[in-house]
Amino acid sequence: MLLSGFLAPRPHAGGAAFRIQADTMPCQRSVRPLAACLAAVVTLFVLAGTAQAQMPQRVAPDSRQQVMLSFAPVTAKTAPAVVNVFALKTKPQGGHPFIDDPFFRRFFGDRGFGVPRERVQRSLGSGVIVDPRGLVVTNHHVVEGADEVRVVLADKRELAAEIVLRDPRTDLAVLRINEGAPFAAIDLADSDALQVGDLVLAIGNPFGVGQTVTQGIVSALARSQVGISDFQSFIQTDAAINPGNSGGALVDMSGRLVGINTAIFTRSGGSHGIGFAIPSNMVRVVVESARSGGKQVKRPWLGARLQTVTADIAESLGLPRPTGALVADVPNGTPAAKAGLKRGDVVVAIDGQAVDDPDGLGFRLATRPVGGKAVLTVRRGANEMPLPIGLEAPPEGSSRDAVVIKSRSPFAGATVATLDAALADELRLPFTGEGVVVVVKVEPGSPADNLGFQPGDAVLQVNGRDIATPQELERIFRAGARLWRLVVQREGRAIQMVLPG
């Protein structure tokens, strides 16, 4: 394979490994014939070469011949499994103000002044076939709200696709295409084995121009301040990623999937060399849930409220550096409480993998199966200790009593629900066991969105009345009022506001 020159260990005469072998050569201890000594030397060098071949090393190209090597073999292996995804959504189209007047409809018909009553929105993205039977992974935002999804294969075949699993928390979705199986598929790599500087290829359909391959390196790992999804531990790459690449493949030099390209940092709408991909270890969890027939992904929860360790906190706790997840609260009955986690503890690792911040801990937990065990490494005072923890799914509760506020009010367009343990974990809110009504979702462009309400806001009072259930909030808004006096809690702070009715 042409790329082997990048991965093969480079001979280095006089290296420590060779000197150790040379110090123990049997020909230095006896008067053996020259042929025997040479044979022994050759054998030792062959064994050393075999041992190093079993442990591939990452080395930079050191000659023009190596620089001129091609990525074509990796592309040929992986590109057939990368597809284009087209999502279609029919939305009502606003027309002329007289479009519904019977008089004008007599003359202009249902289309009213040539303006269609409906329009079709088309979103374009990419996807990756991860199972020969037709499972395709893409981004959730590519197919969100779609009435119809179609997939175009690398060989130009166009097939209808069914959405079998949506996971907005990771911004992943799994599709199924049935016609024409088996399909070319990509194996998933262990994204934890990636290192900064590793070569990667990004494959997708940027700007709809057709399948495109770009090359770069892993620029950073475990990026958590990106704001794309709930579980943030993104791979950053400088391989060119542009609109349309969403849901496409990030592959290593062995042709394995290491990530799903998801977002870019840009000021112009194009690539600036800062792209982000969801690691394959998170993709694997979502794919396995789809394979098992699940409609949603079940993940373990910790149940503790965490906060970032700042430099000041690290100094006050005697930590060598500001890293880890500080435990701010541990409600009773949660997995964290059962494991013995206490307020003031700092979680620095899980199963031996370092944790930089609460997002990193959340990501590590989310990639582990429900029902298993994990070991948290906790710093308590001046000591570090292991704490085994059971990986439990958050309990199902009343978060399914969600109500969409439709009445004319400041919260019109918001979905609200009673906070329970599962919803608190999803929204990353503290859970005390008391009934609290929180905003779960805000429709873009709605009055609630325009006023700046957001998921996680707790509605405490309306016009002096405490709010205990979503239904009660809806009844108050339905009754109407000239003024709305609201008390809303956000990030632990109570905010009072007065808004017109």
Catalytic residues, which ones?
A: 141, 171, 246
DSSP bridge pairs for 388: 375
Q: Determine the Cα–Cα distance for residues 63 and 95; give it in Å rounded to an integer.
A: 65
Q: What is the CA radius of gyration of the chain?
A: 29
Q: Determine the Cα–Cα distance for residues 475 and 464; give it in Å rounded to an integer.
A: 15
Q: Determine the Cα–Cα distance for residues 80 and 354; give it in Å rounded to an integer.
A: 36
In angstroms, the Cα distances linking 176 to 149, 157, 290, 474 are: 10, 15, 10, 39
Q: Is 12 annotated as a binding residue?
A: no
Q: Determine the Cα–Cα distance for residues 135 and 129; give it in Å rounded to an integer.
A: 6
DSSP state of 113: T
Question: Quick one: how many helices (H) and strands (E) in the chain?
Answer: 14, 25
Residue with tokens 């993104």: 234
Q: Determine the Cα–Cα distance for residues 393 and 303; give it in Å rounded to an integer.
A: 10
Decide: 259 and 277 in contact? Cβ < 8 Å.
yes
Q: Is 178 annotated as a binding residue?
A: no
Q: Determine the Cα–Cα distance for residues 478 and 464; give it in Å rounded to an integer.
A: 16
Q: Is 246 annotated as a binding residue?
A: yes
Q: Determine the Cα–Cα distance for residues 216 and 202; give it in Å rounded to an integer.
A: 8
Coil, strand or helix: which one is 77?
helix
- The closest alpha carbon to 167, from 282, 279, 300, 292, belongs to 282
Residue 446's CB is within 10 A of a number of other CB atoms, namely 16
Q: Is 140 annotated as a binding residue?
A: no
- HSE of 123, CA atoms in CB hemisphere, 13 A: 22
- The closest alpha carbon to 166, from 221, 229, 124, 121, belongs to 229
Strands 483-490 and 465-466: unpaired
Q: Is 141 annotated as a binding residue?
A: yes
The residues, ordered by sequence, that sit 6+ positions from 19 with a Cβ below 8 Å of its Cβ are: none
Assigned token pair, 199: 């070569």
Cβ contacts of 211-217, under 8 Å, gap ≥ 24 = 211/79, 211/82, 211/84, 211/154, 213/71, 213/75, 213/79, 214/239, 214/240, 214/241, 215/71, 215/239, 216/240, 216/273
Tell me the one-letter amino acid at 152.
V
Q: What is the 3-state secondary structure (H, E, C) of 328-340?
A: EECCCCCHHHHHC
Sign of the alpha-carbon dihedral angle for 237, 242, 247, 249 = negative
Binding-site entries:
141, 171, 244-246
Binding-site entries for substrate:
141, 171, 244-246
